[in-house]
Amino acid sequence: MKAIKSEEEWKEILSSEEFHVLREKGTEPAFTGKYLKNKKKGTYVCAGCGSKLFSSDTKFDSGTGWPSFWAPVSKDNIEEKPDNRFGMRRTEVLCKKCGGHLGHVFNDGPKPTGQRFCLNSISLSFKENEDSVEKSKK
């Protein structure tokens, strides 16, 4: 089910930085995102609507300055659209549920997919696996 909100409703629930990236297709500066170096096990969800997007099992260090993944949890949870802004030919990645801008996908990633989903940390929230949380409490 789609999460449909007016721009005013999004402005009320998102920070100005989140709104800029998720709703206005902005980009956070490279090497500044809170999830770039996150090594915990869990699931990355949309910061706008909570839809499950990427697993820590597919995260890798691309050296680009943004969290990168070689596959989404499900292709049904994301949408890919051509993005020719700024004189570049790229493929934009959006949350299928709320339409939030997540980042871009490139065909220079590792096996098995060869894809690099290069995402803005600010577009994501992280849900740590419960078994990882339990282990850290011991």
10-residue stretch averages of pLDDT, the chain, 138 residues long? 84 95 96 97 97 98 97 97 85 97 96 97 95 54
Look-up of token digits 């997919």: 113
**pLDDT score of 56:** 98
Helices and strands (H and E) in the chain: how many: 3, 9
Can you list the domains of the chain with their CATH numbers? 9-137 (2.170.150.20)
**pLDDT score of 78:** 98
CA distance 79 to 19: 19
Tell me the backbone φ, ψ of residue 38, rounded to 5 degrees.
Answer: -65, 125
The model carries a pTM of 0.90
Catalytic residues: 118
**pLDDT score of 75:** 95
